[in-house]
DNA sequence: TTATTACTTTATAATCGTTATAATTAGTCT
DNA sequence: AGACTAATTATAACGATTATAAAGTAATAA
């Protein structure tokens, strides 16, 4: 049930002193219920039926608020626009080169690579980023 | 000696039927001799002494030509501008969160993660991307 | 050599995602 | 209600990159 997750997120925000406006509720709801990794613009378009006057800046502003509250993570991909993920537990992504679909997948952290990099470069390592690219089952079928 | 690498790159381009203009030569030379991962704008600025009339579009155009010839790789990072790497053999990067420095480091490919992702998601995996983030020795010292 | 042709560079405008600004609106508190 | 604060909106600005069109340059054909 995603409404539980929505409520938890809202409680989290309230505790941080963030007002729950209708726009914020809708953006959060869309993020959680869509179960995907939408762009700011996709969220904006998905909600323009319900909020015909909402500004795209409101979407960006609130995504930043949610990020600062630790409720969403921003995924940045090269030239194109950022995507937002409301699953904040550690996981990796696999991305279809053909249709752009993004799928979560879990793998134990790459601690060994991190510690090797640390010893070889003298950096103090904080985090890493990894994605895998390929062709998804749907696109394989279409060939 | 980096001139050997420059000559090899030029031969490579000639073989692909690409004309070697003074601008192309200079961009290539800068990329190879700088031993770093410059942005298009950094290259543009580094060469404006020698080519006061060169257009920034020329830098972008030629970086694309070099990319298509397999001579450089583009590294894309979130919002900020792309960086270009003339080391095309497989390697990873570690990036300083404080000063932005990018350092190469080598590690055997993450074949295990790729094959697990393939079996779990049904994707046909082609490649992956990984970077490590942390604080470089210089920035650590400054604390 | 001259003419033709294709390629390259330049200058400039356009595009796109994102952020900044300022005015307006809406909550919150006393 | 009145005062204060935060949020939203509309719009402009920004920065990286790409598109366009004109002018220049090199290769090739006649
Ligand atoms: Mn995810
Ligand atoms: Mn490199
Ligand atoms: Zn696909
Ligand atoms: Zn540093």
Q: How many residues does chain B have?
A: 143
Domains, chain B: 2-86 (1.10.10.10), 92-141 (3.30.1490.190)
Count of H-run helices and E-run strands, chain B: 6, 5
Q: How would residue A59 be classed by pLDDT, with cut points 50, 70 and 90?
A: very high
Q: What is the pLDDT of residue A130?
A: 97
- Rounded to whole angstroms, what are the CA distances from A60 to A39, A81, B51, B77? 10, 12, 40, 19
Here the tokens at position A35 are 């179960």
Q: Express each pLDDT in A16-46 by its tens digit.
A: 889 999 999 999 999 999 989 999 999 999 9
Q: What is the pLDDT of residue A90?
A: 94
- Through-space separation of residue A6 CA and nucleotide D8 C1' in angstroms: 22
- A113 and B113 within 8 Å at the Cβ level: the answer is no
User: Degrees (nearest 5) of the Cα angle B37, B40, B41?
Assistant: 110
Q: Express each pLDDT in A64-121 by its tens digit.
A: 999 999 999 999 987 789 999 999 999 999 999 999 999 999 999 799 999 999 999 9
Chain B residues whose CB is inside 8 A of the A111 CB are none
- Give yes or no for a contact between B73 and B88, defined as CB atoms under 8 angstroms apart: yes
Q: What is the pLDDT of residue B142?
A: 86
Q: Which residue is nearest to nucleotide D27 (CA to C1')?
A: B19
CA–CA separation, A74 and A67 (whole Å) = 7
Q: What is the DSSP string of A9-45?
A: HHHHHHHTT----HHHHHHHHHHHHH-S--BHHHHHH
Chain A residues whose CB is inside 8 A of the B90 CB are none
User: For residue A15, is pLDDT > 80?
Assistant: yes
Q: Tokens 């020329």 — which residue?
A: B58
How many CB atoms lie under 10 A from the CB of residue B12?
14
- Through-space separation of residue B56 CA and nucleotide C10 C1' in angstroms: 9
Ion ligand 4 neighbours (CB, 5 A) are: B 96, 98-99, 101, 136, 139
Q: What is the pLDDT of residue B2?
A: 72
User: For residue A142, is pLDDT > 90?
Assistant: no
Here the tokens at position B46 are 């580094």
Q: What is the pLDDT of residue A78?
A: 76
Nearest CB among B128, B132, B135 relative to A132 is that of B128
User: For residue A9, is pLDDT > 80?
Assistant: yes
- Which residues does chain B have with pLDDT short of 70? 1
CA–CA separation, A138 and B122 (whole Å) = 9
Q: What is the pLDDT of residue B43?
A: 97
User: What residues are paired with B133 via a beta bridge?
Assistant: A127, B95
- A126 and B133 within 8 Å at the Cβ level: the answer is yes
């Amino acid at each position: 049930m995603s409404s539980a997750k929505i409520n938890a997120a809202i409680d989290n925000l309230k505790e941080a002193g963030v007002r729950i406006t209708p726009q914020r509720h809708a953006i959060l709801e869309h993020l959680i219920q869509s179960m995907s990794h939408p762009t700011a613009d996709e969220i904006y378009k998905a909600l323009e039926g319900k909020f015909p006057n909402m500004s795209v800046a409101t979407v960006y502003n609130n995504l930043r608020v949610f990020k600062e509250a630790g409720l969403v993570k921003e995924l940045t991909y090269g030239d194109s626009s950022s995507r937002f993920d409301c699953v904040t537990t550690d996981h990796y992504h696999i991305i279809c080169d053909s249709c752009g679909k993004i799928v979560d997948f879990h793998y134990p952290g790459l601690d060994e690579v991190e510690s090797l990099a640390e010893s070889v470069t003298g950096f103090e390592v904080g985090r890493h980023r990894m994605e895998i690219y390929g062709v998804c089952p749907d696109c394989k079928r279409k060939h």
